[in-house]
């Protein structure tokens, strides 16, 4: 079968009317789910807004874990890596299966016992002081804004420009407006429930496209045979440009000369993956919203099972796209590539979009466009919500220690809007820095920034002797070394297939996965050395904060208040005394509960504009009395350790599924290794 002809640049395939109708229905569905979710939790409290009231069941948690991870960057990048180099990159996905299970069974019990909302907050409790917490908070925001958002924006732009021929700014502003609406209004509950809906749409669309792809290529055997012969007609003479790899259908590849050496996959890949799945706010926040530990484990299991599907639904269709549209997707001449996709490095990242626009009939093209938008929006909402949580709880509260819950809710919502503006302003940078294999680009950058953070969390959770000085200097040294390597990668980019490699030896001979292993070891040595050379952690920095102390008994702390709590309590008493003196009608009400407004305040509320009332409802904020700009809230009671108890039946079910999931993972890795 000859490859299907590609349309000329002058006559691009666009969406029909029925496709536009499908897209409109999709947007209405997502908005409906978002607004419905607003009634599921109390959005005017910190737990309600940032942790969905800690009342989520296993299935929305698992679906949200999957949707938060599988952004548009996965659809574009994973399919592009399959088209360019075979199935090697799927090792990142299957490594993630093991790590999300590690989160549910090992790390999450520690986080739940510690009673934290954010990962920087855990570091502050575990090590004391503020600098490690602030360091992690700023680093997390940097990674979210300048890697995750940029990658997803670029991937979404590839699809939007190909399908709609829209101006990229118009398309992105529209998407971000809808995304920000239910993220700001509904908090984590809206994000999780819409993620669940997005997951169903993504899986349905991706599996339909997979079916069309295999039918078009001629089945499984045809894919295995024809991929090796998918060589573009125009190539640079006497070079390897455009020739498929001999090890395209193997995960474990040569340890010296391959693109993904197998020792690096086993060790170097695991450390960045552990940061992402076990200590990244975006992922952990979803698990912390679960109502019990069993439901959190069930969410991890569902996420792990779903992680098997991208190999069949995304990567293999990307390889099929190379077979069907070889000259476009696998172009090997820089000038020709620039004409086809505007990128002289290569056009493999167009593989998935090419399948959608060329292979699917009208209606299904609209569905797949909805799938790509769902992937983009689910990933961005997760980043927006988690970034807002970190900024509010770790940065804002550090400098505004007496901030009321009302103020924190306002700041959290406003920061989402700031991120939307930053996302739009970042588009030109994304367009100027697009790469040939987007997925591999993401992972290589991750190996320079994430291993030191993984080491800090592992030692903090499993070595009681780790202290604040060791953790801080381990982060400083590890990230400094990682940033130097990252800068060298930008200064000396990898040569094209026909160019001589004259990069420094550290780039030429040390693969980024091997560098990840070395970086992890350097950080480990620094943390252990500094920790042993300095004082031991205090008992309160150990209890309930490590694996070995997570089940420590809770000490009663009745009538024990900090100086800050005492001052706040005194302020409340004085404020309430003044209010009681002014309004006798409220004298028998409980002092910390909202009082019924008197007749004058009632008239003030009635005169309040309906627009403001609607805005309060939309944001889930409880309306305050006029002039009450800084309401004093009751001092928070001493937080008790969250329960790690599980019902025996549920515990047996999730543990049995853990064994099944690990067996399936071992089989597929062994089969394709």
Q: What is the CATH number of the domain that holds 423?
A: 1.20.1730.10
- The answer as to whether 484 is a domain residue is no
- The answer as to whether 377 is a domain residue is yes
> For residue 215, is pLDDT > 70?
yes
Nearest partner of 408 among 51, 19, 29, judged by Cα:
51
DSSP annotation of 307: T
- The answer as to whether 605 is a domain residue is no
Please tell me the distance from the alpha carbon of residue 216 to that of residue 592, in angstroms, as a whole number: 68
Residue 316 makes CB contacts below 8 A (sequence gap 6+) with 82, 87, 210, 213, 214, 223
Which string of DSSP letters, residue by residue, matches 370-386?
HHHHHHHHHHHHHHHHH
- The answer as to whether 509 is a domain residue is no
Burial 376-392 (b: 16+ CB within 10 A, else e): bbbbbbbbbbbbbbbbb
pLDDT number for residue 580: 46
Please tell me the distance from the alpha carbon of residue 231 to that of residue 480, in angstroms, as a whole number: 42
User: Contact, 471 vs 458, CB < 8 A?
Assistant: no
Lowest mean pLDDT among 247-261, 507-521, 525-539, 596-610: 596-610
Greatest mean pLDDT range, 43-57, 62-76, 201-215: 201-215
Q: Give me the mean pLDDT over the 101-107 stretch.
A: 95
- The answer as to whether 541 is a domain residue is no
> For residue 124, is pLDDT > 70?
yes
Helix axes 468-491, 512-533, angle to 10 degrees: 160
- The answer as to whether 164 is a domain residue is yes
pLDDT number for residue 611: 58
What is the domain range of residue 182? 17-217+236-245+277-445+651-672
Residue 596 CB coordination number (10 Å) = 11
- The answer as to whether 498 is a domain residue is no
Count how many Cα atoms sit within 13 Å of the Cα of residue 608 in the half-sphere of its side chain.
18
User: Contact, 388 vs 410, CB < 8 A?
Assistant: no
Q: How confident is the model at residue 532 (pLDDT cuts 50, 70, 90)?
A: very high
> For residue 6, is pLDDT > 50?
no
Nearest partner of 202 among 345, 355, 278, 309, judged by Cα:
309
pLDDT number for residue 666: 94
- Residues in the chain, overall count: 673
Give φ, ψ of 514 to 5 degrees: -70, -40
Residue 338 CB coordination number (10 Å) = 14
- The answer as to whether 297 is a domain residue is yes
Please tell me the distance from the alpha carbon of residue 397 to that of residue 403, in angstroms, as a whole number: 7
Provide the percentage of residues in the chain whose pLDDT is more than 90. 30
> For residue 559, is pLDDT > 50?
no
Helix axes 405-425, 168-217, angle to 10 degrees: 70
User: Contact, 325 vs 4, CB < 8 A?
Assistant: yes
User: Contact, 313 vs 221, CB < 8 A?
Assistant: no
* Pairwise pLDDT comparison (23 vs 606), residue with the higher score: 23
Lowest mean pLDDT among 107-116, 167-176, 664-673: 167-176
Total domain count, the chain: 1
Where does 70-167 have alpha helices with state H? 72-85, 90-102, 108-114, 119-127, 131-143, 149-164
Count how many Cα atoms sit within 13 Å of the Cα of residue 547 in the half-sphere of its side chain.
13
Lowest mean pLDDT among 415-429, 535-549, 630-644: 630-644
Lowest mean pLDDT among 77-86, 262-271, 429-438: 429-438
Q: Give me the mean pLDDT over the 118-124 stretch.
A: 90
Q: What is the pTM of this model?
A: 0.79
């Amino acid at each position: 079968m000859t490859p299907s002809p590609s349309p000329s640049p002058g006559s691009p395939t666009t969406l029909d009317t029925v496709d536009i109708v499908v897209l409109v229905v999709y947007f209405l569905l997502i908005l409906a789910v978002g607004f419905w979710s607003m009634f599921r939790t109390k959005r005017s409290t910190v737990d309600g807004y940032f942790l969905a009231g800690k009342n989520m069941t296993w299935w929305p948690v698992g679906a949200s874990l999957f949707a938060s991870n599988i952004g548009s960057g996965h659809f574009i990048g994973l399919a592009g890596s399959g088209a360019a180099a075979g199935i090697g990159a799927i090792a990142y996905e299957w490594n993630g299966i093991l790590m999300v299970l590690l989160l549910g069974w090992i790390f999450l019990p520690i986080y739940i016992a510690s009673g934290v909302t954010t990962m920087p907050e855990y570091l502050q409790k575990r090590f004391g002081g503020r600098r490690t917490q602030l360091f992690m908070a700023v680093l997390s925001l940097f990674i979210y804004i300048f890697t995750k958002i940029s990658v997803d924006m670029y991937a979404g732009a590839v699809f939007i420009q190909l399908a709609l021929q829209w101006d990229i700014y118009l398309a992105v502003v529209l998407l971000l407006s809808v995304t920000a609406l239910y993220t700001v209004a509904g908090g984590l509950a809206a994000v999780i429930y819409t993620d669940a809906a997005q997951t169903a749409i993504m899986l349905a669309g991706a599996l339909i496209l997979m079916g069309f792809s295999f039918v078009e290529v001629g089945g499984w055997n045809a894919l295995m045979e024809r991929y090796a012969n998918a060589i573009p007609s125009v190539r640079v003479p006497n070079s390897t440009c455009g020739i498929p790899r001999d090890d395209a259908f193997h995960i474990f590849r040569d340890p010296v000369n391959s693109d993904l050496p197998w020792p690096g996959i086993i060790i170097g890949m695991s450390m960045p993956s552990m940061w992402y799945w076990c200590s990244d706010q975006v992922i952990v926040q979803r698990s912390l919203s679960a109502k019990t530990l069993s439901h959190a484990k069930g969410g991890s299991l569902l996420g792990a099972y779903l992680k098997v599907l991208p190999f069949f639904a995304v990567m293999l269709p990307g390889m099929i796209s190379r077979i069907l549209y070889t000259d476009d997707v696998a172009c090997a001449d820089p000038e020709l590539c620039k004409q086809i996709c505007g990128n002289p490095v290569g056009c493999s990242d167009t593989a998935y979009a090419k399948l959608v626009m060329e292979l699917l009939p009208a209606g299904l093209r609209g569905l797949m466009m909805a799938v790509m938008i769902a992937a983009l929006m689910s990933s961005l909402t997760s980043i927006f919500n988690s970034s807002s949580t970190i900024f509010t709880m770790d940065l804002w509260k550090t400098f505004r220690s007496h901030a009321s819950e009302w103020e924190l809710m306002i700041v959290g919502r406003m920061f989402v809007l700031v991120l939307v503006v930053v996302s739009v302003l970042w588009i030109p940078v994304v367009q100027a820095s697009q790469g040939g294999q987007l997925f591999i680009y993401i992972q290589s950058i991750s190996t320079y920034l994430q291993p030191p953070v993984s080491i800090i969390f592992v030692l903090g959770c499993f070595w009681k002797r780790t202290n604040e000085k060791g953790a801080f200097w381990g982060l400083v040294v590890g990230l400094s070394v990682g940033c130097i390597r990252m800068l060298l990668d930008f200064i000396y980019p990898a040569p094209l297939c026909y160019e001589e490699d004259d990069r420094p030896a550290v780039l030429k001979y040390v693969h980024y996965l091997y560098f990840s292993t070395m970086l992890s070891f350097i950080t480990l040595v620094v943390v252990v050395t500094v920790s042993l050379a300095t004082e031991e952690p205090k008992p309160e920095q150990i209890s309930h904060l490590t694996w070995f102390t997570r089940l420590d008994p809770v000490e009663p702390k009745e009538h024990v208040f900090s100086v800050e709590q005492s001052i706040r309590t005194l302020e409340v008493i004085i404020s309430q005394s003044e209010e009681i003196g002014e309004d006798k009608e409220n004298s028998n009400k409980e002092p910390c509960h909202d009082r019924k407004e008197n007749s004058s305040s009632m008239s003030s509320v009635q005169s309040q504009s309906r627009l403001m009332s609607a805005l309060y409802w939309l944001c889930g904020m409880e309306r305050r009395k006029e002039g009450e700009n800084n309401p004093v809230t009751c001092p928070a009671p001493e937080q008790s350790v969250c329960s790690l108890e599980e019902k025996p039946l549920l515990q047996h079910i999730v543990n049995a599924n853990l064994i099944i999931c690990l067996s399936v993972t071992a089989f597929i890795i062994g089969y394709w290794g």
